[in-house]
Structure 1
Amino acid sequence: MDLQQRINAFVKLGEFLSQFSQKAIEKNQPVAFNDLFFDGFKHQIKLAQEHNGWFTQENVLFSIDGWSKQLTNSTINEWLSKYHFNTENLKTIAIIMAGNIPLVGFHDFLSVLISGQKVLVKQSSNDKHLLPYLAKYLEHVEPEFKGRIVFTEEKLENFDAVIATGSDNTARYFEYYFKDKPSIIRKNRNSIAVLSGGETSEELKALSEDIFRYYGLGCRNVSKLFVPHNYNFDSFFKAMYDWNPIIHQAKYANNYDYNKAVYLMSEFDMLENGFLMIKEDESFSSPIATVFYETYSSKEELLNVLEAKKDKIQCIVGNGVNESEVKFGQTQLPNLWDYADDVDTISFSLTIC
C-alpha cells in the first residue's frame, strides 16, 4: 500500500465523518460504505455518551466535526509535504491512549498509519467506542489496512516503539517499562491565556470556548490566565456568560459545588459567577469549573516565567505573546501539524524504520 492509497483512505474517512456535525446528523448517500456504517456510527456515538458522562453529544460531534475538516486531500498533503516516506520495513508502534476527551488519541493513530506503519492500540476505558468503529471503516475503504490495525486490552506485546499518554505519575511507569523501546512519553500539560486588558469582547468570548469546551478536560483547554497587576475581571466574566447553561450538567455542577466548598472552607480568595471560579494560584492544572490566574508586571517578566515553565504548557493563547501563540477560541481546533508537546509523531514513526 503506497502513501496515496493511505491518504485516499483517510480522505474518505473525513467524508464519512462530515455527516456527523453539531448542526445535524444527516446521511449523504454518495459517501462510501454508508449503508454499512452510517447507522452503526450513530449507535457508537450514543454508546460513548452512555459510557462516559463527560462525552455529551455536543462534545462528541464537535470532535468528529473537527476531524472531518482536517481529513481533506489538500490539508493532508500540505501536512505531509515535508516528509520522505519509506515503507519497505514495516514496524509496529503501540499507542497507549488517554480518554479525557472524545477521540483524543486519533492524531497518534493517524500519524502512525499514514506513515505506513502498523498500529497496536490500547485505549482508555473512558473512550473505547468510537475509534475501533472508524478503524473498521478504514479497513473497508482500504483493505490493505487489515492486519495493520490491532486493538488490545491485554498487556502490550510484539511492538517496536510506543507512544504513551498519561499523567506525571503514569509517565514515570511508562519511562521505566518502555526504557528499551523508542518512545514518546507524554505527561501532564495545560494551556494558558495571556491577557493584556485590551482584549475585545469578541476575543474574550472566543476565549470562553478555550476554557469550557469538553468541560476543560483537554490539555489544550485553557486552565490558567496570566493578567496584568490590578486586572479587572468584569469584562472577562461578562464574556463567559453565554456558557452559563453548563452548570446544568450534573457532573460539572457537582465539581463546581465541591471545589467551591473547599475554597470557602479553606478561606481562599476567589471570584465566581455561579458557574466558574477564578483563583490566584501558581499551579497550571486547575480543577473543573475553576481557572487559576497569575499577575505580571512586564512582558519580559512574563516571557521569563513562560520559558521556565514551558514543559508544563501545551498552548499559549494570546495576541502578540510569541510566534507560536494560538488565536482566541482556536485551542480545540488544532491543525494536523500542531503536534502534542511539539513532538513530531510523523518523524518519530519514520525514524524507527
Structure 2
Amino acid sequence: MINRAVIWTLIAFISFAGIALGGYDLSGSEKAESLSTSSSALQGIEANVGALAGAEIPQMTASAAGTEQAFSTTQTPTNTELLTLLPFDVEASQSTQVFFKGSYLGWNGFEVQYPRASPGLWIERSGSWSWYATMPLGSWARELLYVPTASPISIFEIYPSGYVMKHDLGSVPPGYYYIWYYADTPGRHLSLFALSNSASNAVTIDVYSIPHQKVTPTDPKKECEKNSFCHWVNGQCLCTMPDPVDPEKEKCEQKSYCDWVNGQCLCTMPDPVDPEKEKCEQKSYCDWVNGQCLCRGLDPIPEPSPTPDEATICQQKPGCHWANGQCLCTGLGGVNSGGLLGNDEEA
C-alpha cells in the first residue's frame, strides 16, 4: 500500500485555489476545487506515489493504446452518475481479477488477503481492476473504491500540468463503490482518495490523443438507397431485411416441375418425351388426348388428276389433226377408207 505520509504531504502542499475542468466531470462543480502545488513539490509527490503504485506502471508516459488499455467508452454518463459514488455489485464481478501486492488475484483470494481497514482504489481494464491503465482522450472509464468506514470522502487527481483537482464526494456506508473518470487531458494522471484519517493507494492513468481523421460528410438518403432492401421515406431510412438465401431452396426452384413447400423440395417428375405426341402437338389444329392425336376440321381434299391435252387426243385418232383450236378429220384411215365419204356420212 502507499505510504500514508506521502499522501498527507501531497494534501499539505495544496494551495492557490482556482477553477478548472475536473477529470471526473465535464464542467466546474460546487464539489470541485482546482489546486496547484509548487513544481518541486509536485515532482517529489509524483515520483513517490508513482513508485509505490506498483511495478507494472511503465516509467514513460504512454502515447498510444497498448495491452494496459482501460475498459473505456465515449458514451457520457448521465448527470446523476457524474461525481457520484455508485454502489458496485461484487457478485456480478466475481469472474474479474483485482491487482494487489504486485499480482492479480481472483475475488475470493483478494478478499481474504486485503486489509479491511484500508481504503483502496482501482481502474477497470478488460477482465481486471488495476492500478494502471491507458485511455484515449475524451473517453470514460470506471474507478473502483473500497471504503472501509463511514467518513467524508475526497478524491484527488494530479494533472500532467501540475494542477491537483479535489472533489468532495460526501459520506457513504462502508463497501465497494465506483465513480466515472473522464480522460480530459493528454499525459500522465494520478488519482487517489482520502477519508478523514486515511488515504488510498494511487492509480496511474496515461491519457493519449487520437489522431484527427477528416470525415467526409455523406448524404443519408444516398447511403440508405445503396441497400436494395431500404427506402428513404419522410426523412427516414426504412429497411425490410431480405430473407437469407437458402441454397437448397434456390436450387429447388430452378426446376420448373419443383416447388419449395414448408422447407422441403416437392417435385412432380415430367412425363417422358413421346415423339408421336410431340409431332401431333406441332399442328395447331390437333391435340394429344389419351394417347391419341385428335385433330379439328375437314379431311384434306384430294388433289385432282391432271386434264389430258385435247390436241394430243385428236392426233391419236386416224385421219385427224389439230388446227385452229379444233380437231379436223378426213375420211382417210376410217372404216370406209377407200371411199370419199366424210365424217358426217360415215356417221
Q: Which has the higher strand share?
A: 2
Which is greater in Rg? Answer: 2
TM category, shorter: under 0.3
Larger relative contact order (Cα-Cα within 8 Å, sequence gap ≥ 6)? 1
TM score, norm. by length of structure 1: 0.18
